[in-house]
Structure formats: structure tokens, C-alpha cells
């Protein structure tokens, strides 16, 4: 087991399953625009780089000129429906309680307001020192400049910090910043792509963090 002073969590696909609400919001947007809807797996594959990329990828080249309209429709719908089915992954509350005395942050490419609303509704906001959304700073994952100042702020070393997430941006953020990485393989991210990056640790289930870190 490794002694860790700071745990940096991803959000979607790591702490919460939000795939259905995101899929529904995207397809609601496409329907309103008169554009053919997409299957769930395809939309989930677009998640991870923020809402701008999600909408760009969902529209594709053919409909890229309708981006502004699509963003307005998506934001309005998702703001009303982001908690329809989104829920904590099994074991999340137990893990957060287990590491209650360890500093914990969230760094996500999701909008800050959406993230905070979900955290508060699901009762886990109090476990985190800070929540960093895609609109919190000029940079976003996997830019190392997002994480390095936080290490300095909380007085922790790179090798005493682990980034935990289900996306390639989480593993790349850790690599770029020189911290440890832990890939969650049961989230929204592509399992094989995660493994191909060679993370320091892998988990099939978030509960395994209790056996990896202390």
C-alpha cells in the first residue's frame, strides 16, 4: 500500500454514473434541431473533454454550423435533468468515508455548477477541499498547469498525490504533472485505451482504492 496525502478524483464515470442523463440531453438537442439521434455508446465515447467537445462531436461536420443553437438547447435541458438518473457508483460513499482524513479534490472537465449541484444532491460535497470544473481555470485536463499549483497550495509532493479517474485525460494529467495515476476500468472511459497508457495502478471497482492507498 502507498501512503497518499492528496487524492484527485475525476467526476463523471468515476464518482457518479451520469451517462444516461448526458445521452438523453444530447439526443434531446439533436431531436430539437431535426438531426438524427445517436446511440448511447457513441455519445458516451464523446464524453471526457467538456461540453463543447461533446456537442461538436455529436453534431459532426455536417451540422457544425448549428453549434451555438445546439449548446443553448443542451444547457437548458441538462440543467433541468442532470439528476434524473445520475447516481453514485456503488462503494463511493464508503471509500470517501474511509479516506475522510486524506485531502481530496475533484478535477473535472464538467462545468463547475453542474458538478456542484450533483455533489450536493448526492450528499458528498463535504468530502472535498475543492472542486475544479472546466470553467474554473483557463486550462483543462490534461494540462499540468491545472494540477501543479494545487500541489503547492496544499503542500503535497507529486509522489504523494494520486489522480483517480476513468478517462485518458486523468492518466495524462497525472503523467504530465508527475504524480501517480490510478485508472478506474468500470467507468465511462474506454478500458483498452486506459490500459494502453500504463497507469501506475488500475481498479475494477472504486472500493479497491482502500487496498491500494493509505
Q: Write down the domain spans for the chain.
A: 6-17+87-212, 19-81
pLDDT value, residue 4: 97
Q: Is 49 a catalytic residue?
A: no
Fold assignment, 6-17+87-212: Rossmann fold (3.40.50)
The secondary structure of 100-160 as a DSSP string is TTSEEEEE-SS-HHHHHHHHHHTT-GGG-SEEE-TTTSS--TT-GGGTHHHHHHHT--GGG
Which of 10, 12, 21, 49 is catalytic? The answer is: 10
Nearest Cα neighbor of 82 from 48, 37, 112, 57 is: 112
Instruction: Round to whole Å and give the CA distance between 131 and 108.
Output: 8
Is 12 strand, coil or helix?
strand
Instruction: Round to whole Å and give the CA distance between 179 and 121.
Output: 31
pLDDT along the chain (214 residues), means of 10: 96 96 98 97 93 96 96 97 97 98 97 97 98 93 95 96 97 98 94 95 96 96
Q: Is the pTM of this model over 0.75?
A: yes
pLDDT value, residue 200: 97
Contact 166, 194 (CB under 8 A): yes
Contact 116, 132 (CB under 8 A): no
* CATH code linked to domain 19-81: 1.10.150
Provide CB contacts within 8 A for 81, sequence distance 6+: 21, 24, 25
Amino acid at each position: 500500500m502507498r501512503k497518499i496525502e492528496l487524492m484527485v478524483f475525476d467526476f463523471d464515470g468515476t464518482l457518479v454514473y451520469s451517462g444516461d442523463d448526458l445521452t438523453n440531453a444530447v439526443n434531446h438537442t439533436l431531436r430539437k434541431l431535426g438531426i438524427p439521434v445517436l446511440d448511447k455508446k457513441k455519445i458516451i465515447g464523446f464524453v471526457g473533454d467538456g461540453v463543447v467537445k461533446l456537442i461538436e462531436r455529436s453534431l459532426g461536420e455536417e451540422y457544425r454550423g448549428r453549434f451555438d443553437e445546439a449548446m443553448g438547447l443542451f444547457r437548458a435541458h441538462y440543467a433541468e435533468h442532470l439528476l434524473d438518473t445520475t447516481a453514485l457508483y456503488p462503494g463511493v460513499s464508503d471509500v470517501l468515508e474511509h479516506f475522510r482524513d486524506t485531502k481530496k479534490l475533484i478535477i473535472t472537465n464538467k462545468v463547475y455548477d453542474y458538478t456542484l449541484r450533483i455533489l450536493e444532491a448526492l450528499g458528498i460535497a463535504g468530502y472535498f477541499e475543492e472542486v475544479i470544473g472546466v470553467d474554473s481555470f483557463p486550462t483543462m485536463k490534461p494540462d499540468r498547469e491545472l494540477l501543479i499549483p494545487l500541489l503547492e497550495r496544499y503542500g503535497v509532493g507529486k509522489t504523494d498525490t494520486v489522480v483517480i479517474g476513468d478517462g485518458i485525460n486523468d492518466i495524462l494529467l497525472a503523467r504530465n504533472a508527475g504524480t501517480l495515476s490510478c485508472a478506474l476500468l468500470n467507468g465511462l472511459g474506454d478500458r483498452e485505451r486506459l490500459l494502453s497508457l500504463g497507469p501506475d495502478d488500475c481498479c475494477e471497482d472504486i472500493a479497491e482504492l482502500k487496498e491500494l492507498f493509505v
